[in-house]
Structure 1
Amino acid sequence: MLSLCCILALLASFCPDTSGTTAGVKVKLTQKGLEYGQKIGIPILLKKLKAIDLPEMNGSVGVFLIGRVAYSLTGMKVLNVRLPQSAVGLVPGIGVSLIISDGYIDTGGNWRVKFLGFISDSGTFDLSVCGLTITTTITIKSDGTGRPMVRSANCEASLSHARIRLRGGASWLYNMFNGYINKKVRKELQRKICPLVSENIQKINSYMKTLNVLKKIDRYAEIEYGLTESPVVSVSSTELSLKGEFYNIGVHKKPAFAPTPFSLPPNERNMLYMGISAFTANSAGFVYKNAGALRLRITDKMIPRAFPYRLNTKTFEALIPQIAKQYPNMMMKLLVKAATAPTVTFAPNNVTLQANTTVTVYAIQPNTTLTTLFILNVDASLSAHVYVIRKNLAGKLSLNKFNIDLGTSYIGPFKVKPLASFLQIMLKIVIPHVNVILQRGFPLPNIANISLVKPRLVIMKVSLYPSYEQTWMHEVLNVLCIYEPLL
């Protein structure tokens, strides 16, 4: 029942009390998504119904001219179950409704009777119970520890009529079983159905524990997905507002910026929609900058041999003559470091990253000590190709343009413009190192064994507070994740 559990868990997902916090990520599950869960879940429910354990039944009934007839029904088993009609729907403000109708259950077993103190008879029977109807509502709430919990509420089960077929025995037994015994078997089956349904819905809570409310990404960062408010259930979809914020491992320090409220577009053609705002991406930059992870040391060994420049003072002689004079025949090293946290902006069909960095240039002395030569300020604009890989959102950067100016010089004044070509080569070394990390991606909200099938990703602008018809716009990345039935 995992796939159905996953659908319901996404509905209930992430319920800690964080009211008042604006969402960085939003997820919308549509009616189509629920119906996919229904297709997967109903066969599992059939299997569970077939495993119903029917106890031995004993009793007696008065029969005209004979008196009391003692009976026993033993070895009863459910032979077959059919649930031809079922429907799931959203109950605004509550959760999910499940309605099953026109089902039937076939049972079989052994019967035995004894009357007049010494006469006994026995045989086998088949009992078909028709008109099975199950209705229940699946409510969603917090379990009090910050984890979501679902339960079955207002469950009702009914079986309209039954037909028994006896093998062995006398014909007069038929009427006795068809009346009193049929009713008793129907009642026993009916009594067991709702607890079985509730038990299996309750099992969904074990899958809730796999929700990546707080997911470690690497040694620097983790991401938190927790509901910032209760799920909003409408007649056609359920929208979840998730925190979607990166933190340093074990240190939940807030950045100076905050997410801007947004709503997902009204499109409901697909099963699942996910919107990731620029806040989530920028909180990642804030965290990695704080951790000191946005730095890279470049040595000559990292430069391909085919490149026209080598990382030594002789190469720089033509660009900055005083370097070769003051530090002749020395190798060099660069430290590229983020001066501020990078900023990501989203525009329709475009993701841009603005990086403000410093490049510190060192000469390596014969005794391996480093001497600082100068520090450059580099402002780079990069485009990002963003895509979904497995359960992660990944990306790849490419350079648009960059500007450089001299921050500090320890070798006297010089013009930085001649360094542009050299710096462009250095950025071609830095960017692939960054892309190796970005291509691993960061985890999207997920629970065990859910996979994205044919996900589509678009970048668009959506209205801020659209219900108030304001014209302000908020940039948001919408990941359209389509769960298509693999049938």
Structure 2
Amino acid sequence: MAWRPDNVRKWSTLALLAIIGTALTAATNPGFVAVISQKGLDFACQQGVAVLKKELQGISIPDFSGEILKTKHLGRGYYNFYSMAVEGFQIPSPQIKLMPSDSLQLSINDASIKISGKWKSRKNFLKGSGKFGLSIQGVSVSADLKLGTDSSGHITATCPTCIGHVNNIRVQVSGGMLGWLIQLFHKKIETSLKSAIYKKICKIVSSSVSSNLQPYLRTLPMIARVDDVAVIDYSLLAPLKITAEFLEGQLKGQFFWREQQHPFPIAPPSMSFSPSHDHMVSLGISNYFFSTAGFVYQESGALRITLRNQMLPKDARFRLNTEFFGTFLPKVAMKFPSMEVQLVMSASLPPHVSIQPSGLSLDPAMETQAFAVLPNSSLVPLFLLGMKTNASLEVDAKGNKLVGELKLDKLMLKLKNSNIGSFQVELLEAVINYLMPTTVLPKINERLHRGFPLPLPAGVHLNNVMFHSYENFLVLEADVYET
């Protein structure tokens, strides 16, 4: 089978890292594995720093005042810097590095800040005022982003340590007769401002994690609603695995019926694959993920469709009534003259998806129950057919969902029960093989095209998607973008 790729939100890419963070204790193989490459980290860093830059540009710098010490010739003086505002903040080389623990390290080097404001000074009876500009060079920040979980199992992110440094700061003063006096003591002023600035920067970094990233992480559902029938359990199974190149997280990856959750008679297989360096994320999806979906939809009765005469196309080669069935089943027409026939098609067993290097396949076990519809709308069972076929499943990813399309081979029929006597089921093969692709399969694929949510943060979608299938699991490789 050929696989075909068809300002809180900025923090969501960092949340994509955190969703595969630390967690509970491992007891079984995961049904879903999420891996972030360094390329993904680099993208997340750029997006996260864009938010941080916006936060820093809005930094509130308190007024700064001091005393010009008395000298023999100049005497004592006072100055005040106020109405300070950041005009520009350049961050040329941000990085997020993997640490040999449960954290990431954000590093910013050689950043620069430009600040403007007003000044005023007083010496004896003389007063002066004007404007000033601060040029801050060589700003560096090293902050740890620690990932964890709270008592409810939600992902947490904190910034326990932040170290800032400023290489140099220059003050340029203009206006006023006492501006020269402030310039004379610029070393003292610059040293004091340098200390205030880098402490403020680390405070903004820590605050941005707690006020932007952490609230967003709490919106990440461990349980993803699919539809009125099913949800997917994406809760974490094991602590975060960190290597020199990747972040890897193990998720449960299991469908269950919204009304109840029962153990499944199957276990997730082991998954081992080499993540892609060329894509931002790699998602390992086991056949357990697909098979639990089959169990849920079959047990809930969702894999059942009732075919009535009015559902057939107007140009159909036959009608669902006793007159048509009477052409090869005379007893039906004789016993139930001029009545409609209903066919109820359903999965008799939960469909099991098999994943091989050649692609995804399944051998669905289905059955069709035929009823005669009496004038009072009650149903009289006529016969029950077993149906077997080979099927293939093509998968793709669109936006933040996994989508699919089912393809069926010719159906083979077997008479399982009859209330009208024995008959040759081959007589019905043409009917069933016409109804399945024209009426039933489009409804199945309509549901598959709507897709199933992947464990991605809100606003994050996949593109440049590629699939690779292996024994019992498949790997989705992709880049991410934000909307």
Are positions 1:96 and 2:96 aligned together?
Answer: no
Measured in 2, the distance between the counterparts of 1:228 and 1:171 equals 64
Q: How many residues are aligned here?
A: 472
Residue 465 of structure 1 is matched in structure 2 by none
Gap change, CA 1:72 and 1:368, over 3 Å in 2:
closer
Residue 37 of structure 1 deviates from its aligned partner by 2.0
Task: Find 2:459's aligned residue among 449, 458, 473.
Answer: 449
Task: Find 1:87's aligned residue among 65, 88, 95.
Answer: 95
Measured in 1, the distance between the counterparts of 2:78 and 2:162 equals 34
Moved more, 381-390 or 171-180: 171-180
Residue 4 of structure 1 deviates from its aligned partner by 4.3
Residue 435 of structure 1 is matched in structure 2 by 445
SS in structure 2 at match of 1:292: coil
Residue 398 of structure 1 is matched in structure 2 by 407
1:33 is matched by which residue type in structure 2? Answer: G
1:442 is matched by which residue type in structure 2? Answer: F
Are positions 1:206 and 2:206 aligned together?
Answer: no
Q: Is the 8 A contact 1:164 1:177 kept in 2?
A: no
1:398 is matched by which residue type in structure 2? Answer: K
Residue 83 of structure 1 deviates from its aligned partner by 1.9
Equivalent residues in 2 for 1:194-233 (5 A)? 194-202=202-210, 203-233=212-242
Residue 368 of structure 1 deviates from its aligned partner by 2.8
Residue 473 of structure 2 is matched in structure 1 by 476
Are positions 1:357 and 2:366 aligned together?
Answer: yes
Equivalent residues in 2 for 1:74-473 (5 A)? 74-116=82-124, 118-167=125-174, 168-170=176-178, 173-174=181-182, 176-202=184-210, 203-428=212-437, 429-456=439-466, 458-461=467-470
Q: Is the 8 A contact 1:104 1:131 kept in 2?
A: yes
Gap change, CA 1:240 and 1:149, over 3 Å in 2:
same
1:98-123, CA deviations, whole angstroms, 9 ceiling, x for partnerless residues?
Answer: 2111122222222233334x333333
Are positions 1:46 and 2:53 aligned together?
Answer: yes
Q: Is the 8 A contact 1:11 1:240 kept in 2?
A: no
Q: Is the 8 A contact 1:134 1:155 kept in 2?
A: yes
SS in structure 1 at match of 2:322: coil
1:186-234, CA deviations, whole angstroms, 9 ceiling, x for partnerless residues?
Answer: 1111111101011112220111122232122222111111111122121
1:446 is matched by which residue type in structure 2? Answer: L
1:368 is matched by which residue type in structure 2? Answer: S
Task: Find 2:64's aligned residue among 38, 57, 69.
Answer: 57
Q: Is the 8 A contact 2:119 2:132 kept in 1?
A: yes
Q: Is the 8 A contact 2:102 2:240 kept in 1?
A: no
Residue 327 of structure 1 deviates from its aligned partner by 3.0
Moved more, 443-452 or 477-486: 477-486
Measured in 1, the distance between the counterparts of 2:89 and 2:334 equals 91
1:328-353, CA deviations, whole angstroms, 9 ceiling, x for partnerless residues?
Answer: 33321111122111111122342213
Gap change, CA 1:114 and 1:353, over 3 Å in 2:
same
Measured in 2, the distance between the counterparts of 1:324 and 1:50 equals 83
SS in structure 1 at match of 2:420: coil
Residue 20 of structure 1 is matched in structure 2 by 27
Residue 427 of structure 1 deviates from its aligned partner by 1.5
2:102 is matched by which residue type in structure 1? Answer: I
Q: Is the 8 A contact 1:454 1:484 kept in 2?
A: no
Gap change, CA 1:69 and 1:256, over 3 Å in 2:
same
Q: Is the 8 A contact 1:379 1:404 kept in 2?
A: yes
Measured in 1, the distance between the counterparts of 2:38 and 2:159 equals 19
Residue 449 of structure 1 deviates from its aligned partner by 0.9
Q: Is the 8 A contact 2:79 2:182 kept in 1?
A: no
Q: Percent identity?
A: 29
1:290 is matched by which residue type in structure 2? Answer: E
2:456 is matched by which residue type in structure 1? Answer: N
SS in structure 2 at match of 1:159: strand
Measured in 2, the distance between the counterparts of 1:404 and 1:139 equals 59
Residue 354 of structure 1 deviates from its aligned partner by 2.2
Residue 170 of structure 1 deviates from its aligned partner by 4.5
Q: Is the 8 A contact 1:23 1:241 kept in 2?
A: yes
Measured in 2, the distance between the counterparts of 1:101 and 1:389 equals 37
1:6 is matched by which residue type in structure 2? Answer: S
Residue 70 of structure 1 deviates from its aligned partner by 2.4
Q: Is the 8 A contact 1:123 1:169 kept in 2?
A: no
2:357 is matched by which residue type in structure 1? Answer: P
Q: Is the 8 A contact 1:346 1:459 kept in 2?
A: no
Residue 5 of structure 1 is matched in structure 2 by 11
Q: Which runs of 5+ in 2 are unaligned?
A: 1-6
SS in structure 1 at match of 2:283: strand
Measured in 2, the distance between the counterparts of 1:439 and 1:171 equals 71
Residue 468 of structure 1 is matched in structure 2 by none
Q: Is the 8 A contact 2:116 2:133 kept in 1?
A: yes
Residue 29 of structure 1 deviates from its aligned partner by 0.9
SS in structure 1 at match of 2:464: coil
Q: Is the 8 A contact 1:4 1:38 kept in 2?
A: no
Gap change, CA 1:45 and 1:175, over 3 Å in 2:
same
- Alignment RMSD (CA, Å): 2.1
Q: TM-score, normalised by structure 1?
A: 0.91
1:75-105, CA deviations, whole angstroms, 9 ceiling, x for partnerless residues?
Answer: 2222222222322222233332221111222
Measured in 1, the distance between the counterparts of 2:294 and 2:231 equals 12
Residue 3 of structure 2 is matched in structure 1 by none
Residue 23 of structure 1 deviates from its aligned partner by 1.2
Measured in 2, the distance between the counterparts of 1:83 and 1:189 equals 15
Task: Find 1:36's aligned residue among 33, 43, 47.
Answer: 43
SS in structure 2 at match of 1:314: helix
1:212-270, CA deviations, whole angstroms, 9 ceiling, x for partnerless residues?
Answer: 32122222111111111122121111112111111111422221112112133332211
Q: Which runs of 5+ in 1 are unaligned?
A: 462-473
Q: Is the 8 A contact 1:95 1:233 kept in 2?
A: no
Measured in 2, the distance between the counterparts of 1:397 and 1:298 equals 19
SS in structure 2 at match of 1:451: strand
Residue 146 of structure 1 deviates from its aligned partner by 0.8
Measured in 2, the distance between the counterparts of 1:18 and 1:326 equals 64
Q: Is the 8 A contact 1:12 1:231 kept in 2?
A: no
Q: Is the 8 A contact 2:321 2:341 kept in 1?
A: yes
Measured in 1, the distance between the counterparts of 2:233 and 2:482 equals 29
